[in-house]
Amino acid sequence: MVRFRDLRLGLLVAALVALGVALAGPSWTLPRTAYDFIIVVDITGSMNARDYTLDGRPTSRLDAAKRDVRGLIAQVSCRSRVGLGVFAERRSFLLFEPVELCVNFSAVDEAIAALDWRMGWEGDSHVASGLLRALEIARDLDVDLVFLTDGHEAPPLPASGPPAFEGEPGKVRGLVVGVGETKPVPIPKFDDTGREIGFWSAADVPHENRSGAPPTDASSRPGWHPRNAPFGAADLTGNEHLTAVREDHLQALARETGLGYVRLAEDASLPTELAAQARRRLIGTSVDLRPLPAALALAALVMILAGLPVIETFRIRRRPPDWSVVERKK
Amino acid sequence: MSIAVDHPAVLLLLLLALLPFVATMLAASGHPSLAAVPRDGLSVFADATLRVAAAVAIAAIVLGLAGIHRRQQLIERQGRGAHIVLLIDRSASMDNSFAGRSPTGEDESKSAAARRLIADFVARRPHDRIGIAAFSSSPMPVVALTDHHAVVQAAIGVIDRPGLASTDVGRGLMLAMTMVEEGTPDAPRAVVLVSDGAAVIDRRVQAALQDAATRAPVNLYWLFLRTRGSRSIFEPPATGELDTPQANPERHLHLFLSRLGLPYHAFEATSPAAVQQAIAEIDRQEARPLRYFEHVPRRDLAGPAYATALIGVMLLLAAKLAERGLAAERGLAAERAASRQKRRETMREVA
């Protein structure tokens, strides 16, 4: 009996100590990864082409891109900092600087949802220039870049090719995301008040960029004249009124600038691609360890109140009473 | 007060809190009959106290394990402020100084002055819901009305980046009016237009703006960052000069806005100091009674729960240390030891 009394005391002291430890608030810091980046979304006309499907309905590239970007910010750690910009003409235009997502998530999410081609200030689409401007912005802010575009250059690139990248490849890291399918589709056309009025036709758009030097094979073109017709005299035909994602162009740009490339498709996951490309910022997430000592304290109390009495009852029943003592007392 | 737990299933363990009422943590002592013990008020009280203390300790630990906390909540408060949409001109001319030149050395560009002073303005108004819209040739919603000023400041931080093409004030105003309408209906609302120029407003856009003004009354402010040397919006042009929207779009925008039937104030600023005065005036005028919501963050209550349990266990421990066996039992143990000793002696004698 004396032995059990001491065990009870020991368990009570253990419970007390465990609760004291729990009150001290032990925690363990887990390393987690956060990313700092700006998202720049192409809002030019070709992004209105509907070659994605969402809930069984044809969806524009812009809507598909917005859906995936919203998915991306929902998945990265909320301590990540995200800024938003749009690309049109030859510029990338920052809407807001990177902000931490923990408290600002809904505002950032709404801002992404509100992206619209109508925000575009001009109709041109010089994708390569826009990417270079976006890289400059990201470099100034010292963050990474996620640039979503279909790579459709309008007007087409000159014979000399895209503007050269003068920065240091890999200084800004991140992703070029190719948006669109590889099968050419027509581009919706809108009137001045923003109503859709059909599609761009072959006659509406330039099929060749005639600024700068003519291509080297121009002399073999019909009607070529070095002064009067340096680009040849044939009527221009082409498929510039249709649009498909220009993967070769975008991959070349990504290689040159040291970014990763991924195409926006059903199976593509922006969070994992971003994790593979972007710079990581290690943050600590603290894990609450108080439940461990608290559970021990609970176990000790339950042992005292339920465990010991059961054992005791068992023992008392087994042991015959010591009648000799009682008899002598009489 | 809204109390919640993270793991409701753990609450099943609360049943353990009944244990102290069926078992005791004190040692059982052999006694022929409880009826022989005289009824004693103090003992009954001590017994009840200890059982309750044990029950409370167990319940408190279980609550702590379940992750008890006070939920994050919004508390409605009364303050002064307004729901404000800041409509900011991002056209290329904003990159110039008030003298109309590229900013050099001492000069500050109009956009840099606007950025600095608007950031201050927002920082002084913690209770406002603020939205940001930008415009150049087209209107751009940037941040919808929000209480989170970090993202608002992030959007103000980009104002002095290089601007875009030209100025379409009309559609920009239309966007700002739509954005500010999304706030709480009875909250005071304001639209603050910050621009350094204007353009002719399309007749259809004029009609739409007139409609919007009739539908949802807002206080309208125009902070006109006038480049020195350009004409004032308040003075009619000198005789002989044309007075048409094409020739003098700023003055005609001012006239149009005053005709909207809204409370409207125009401020003309030709220097950063003048901008500061104008913003202070807007700050003063927009201090209307406002119901706003304050976020009260989640508060962890597991700590207090464990503290309660600790007090309970300390009480039990005190009782345990004060515990003495019954006199009879103490005697019993002594007798037993004596009889064992005696038996051993007898055995030795026999041997």
B170–A contact, CB cutoff 8 A: no
Q: CB–CB of B142 and A95 under 8 A?
A: yes
Confidence at residue A214, expressed as pLDDT on a 0 to 100 scale: 86
A236-252 mean pLDDT: 90
pLDDT band for position A2 (cuts 50, 70, 90): very low
**Which chain A residue has its CA at the smallest distance from B309's CA?**
A19
Confidence at residue A122, expressed as pLDDT on a 0 to 100 scale: 86
**Which chain A residue has its CA at the smallest distance from B23's CA?**
A305
Does A1 have pLDDT greater than 50?
A: no
Which residues in chain A are closer than 8 Å to B139, comparing Cβ atoms?
A: 118-119
Asked if A173 and A258 touch (Cβ cutoff 8 Å), the reply is yes
Confidence at residue A330, expressed as pLDDT on a 0 to 100 scale: 44
- Least trusted range by pLDDT, from A101-105, A305-309, B62-66: A305-309
Confidence at residue A199, expressed as pLDDT on a 0 to 100 scale: 94
Please tell me the pTM assigned to this model. 0.79
Structural tokens at position A268:
């593509």
Interface test with A, best of B147, B158, B171, B203 (most A CBs within 10 A): B158
CATH of domain B76-294: 3.40.50.410
pLDDT band for position A82 (cuts 50, 70, 90): very high
What is the nearest CA distance from B234 to chain A, expressed in angstroms? 30
For A324, other C-beta atoms within 10 Å of its C-beta total 12
B54, B65, B138 ranked by CB distance to A120: nearest: B138
Among candidate residues A137, A98, A112, the one with its CA nearest the CA of residue A62: A112
- What lies within 8 Å, CB to CB, of A24 at 6+ separation is none
Give chain A's end-to-end CA distance (angstroms, integer): 24
Interface test with A, best of B151, B152, B175, B310 (most A CBs within 10 A): B151
Cα torsion B5, B6, B11, B14: sign: negative
- What lies within 8 Å, CB to CB, of A199 at 6+ separation is A186, A187, A188, A189, A241
Q: CB–CB of B310 and A20 under 8 A?
A: yes
| Chain B (222-261) residues lying within 8 Å, Cβ to Cβ, of chain A | none
pLDDT band for position B87 (cuts 50, 70, 90): very high
pLDDT in tens, A315-330: 766 655 555 555 554 4
For chain B, give every domain's residue range: 1-26+38-72+297-324, 76-294
Confidence at residue A318, expressed as pLDDT on a 0 to 100 scale: 61
What is the H or E stretch that residue B59 is in?
helix B41-65
B157, B314, B329 ranked by CB distance to A16: nearest: B314
Q: CB–CB of A9 and B316 under 8 A?
A: no
Asked if B204 and B210 touch (Cβ cutoff 8 Å), the reply is no
pLDDT in tens, B121-174: 999 998 889 999 999 888 999 999 988 899 999 999 999 888 887 888 999 999
A99-123 mean pLDDT: 91
Rounded CA gap, B148 and B153, in Å?
Answer: 9
What is the nearest CA distance from A296 to chain B, expressed in angstroms? 10
Does A256 have pLDDT greater than 90?
A: yes
Does B223 have pLDDT greater than 80?
A: yes
**Which chain A residue has its CA at the smallest distance from B338's CA?**
A325
Interface test with B, best of A11, A19, A108, A326 (most B CBs within 10 A): A19
A and B: number of Cβ contacts within 8 A: 165
Question: Mean pLDDT score of chain A, rounded to an integer?
Answer: 88
Q: CB–CB of B16 and A5 under 8 A?
A: no
pLDDT in tens, B24-33: 666 556 666 6
pLDDT band for position B7 (cuts 50, 70, 90): confident
- What lies within 8 Å, CB to CB, of B144 at 6+ separation is A107, A110, A111, A114, B131, B179, B182
Q: CB–CB of B61 and A94 under 8 A?
A: no
B18–A contact, CB cutoff 8 A: no
A2, A23, A137 ranked by CB distance to B307: nearest: A23
Superfamily of domain A30-205+240-285: von Willebrand factor, type A domain (3.40.50.410)
Rounded CA gap, B330 and B211, in Å?
Answer: 97
Confidence at residue A5, expressed as pLDDT on a 0 to 100 scale: 53
Confidence at residue B29, expressed as pLDDT on a 0 to 100 scale: 61
Does A3 have pLDDT greater than 60?
A: no
What is the nearest CA distance from B27 to chain A, expressed in angstroms? 6
Which residues in chain A are closer than 8 Å to B24, comparing Cβ atoms?
A: 305, 309
Which residues in chain A are closer than 8 Å to B29, comparing Cβ atoms?
A: 1
Q: CB–CB of A111 and B142 under 8 A?
A: yes
pLDDT band for position A31 (cuts 50, 70, 90): confident
Which residues in chain A are closer than 8 Å to B317, comparing Cβ atoms?
A: 9, 12-13, 16
B310–A contact, CB cutoff 8 A: yes
Percent of chain A with pLDDT over 90: 51
pLDDT band for position B259 (cuts 50, 70, 90): very high
Among candidate residues B141, B144, B146, the one with its CA nearest the CA of residue B126: B146
Q: CB–CB of A16 and B333 under 8 A?
A: no
Question: Mean pLDDT score of chain B, rounded to an integer?
Answer: 85
Structural tokens at position B272:
């950063």
Does B53 have pLDDT greater than 70?
A: yes
> ipTM > 0.95?
no
pLDDT band for position A306 (cuts 50, 70, 90): confident
pLDDT band for position A20 (cuts 50, 70, 90): very high
Q: CB–CB of B27 and A98 under 8 A?
A: no
Which residues in chain B are closer than 8 Å to A3, comparing Cβ atoms?
A: none
pLDDT in tens, B272-329: 888 888 889 888 888 888 888 777 778 888 889 999 999 999 998 888 888 776 555 5
Q: Which residue has the higher pLDDT, B42 or A184?
A: A184
Confidence at residue A94, expressed as pLDDT on a 0 to 100 scale: 94
DSSP-derived secondary structure letter, A48: G
B131–A contact, CB cutoff 8 A: no
CA B125 to chain centre: 14
What is the nearest CA distance from B99 to chain A, expressed in angstroms? 26
Confidence at residue A321, expressed as pLDDT on a 0 to 100 scale: 58
Percent of chain A with pLDDT over 70: 93
pLDDT band for position B100 (cuts 50, 70, 90): confident
**Which chain B residue has its CA at the smallest distance from A114's CA?**
B141
B306–A contact, CB cutoff 8 A: yes
What is the H or E stretch that residue B331 is in?
helix B327-350
Q: CB–CB of B144 and A111 under 8 A?
A: yes
Q: CB–CB of A12 and B323 under 8 A?
A: no
pLDDT in tens, A213-227: 888 888 888 888 888
Confidence at residue A320, expressed as pLDDT on a 0 to 100 scale: 59
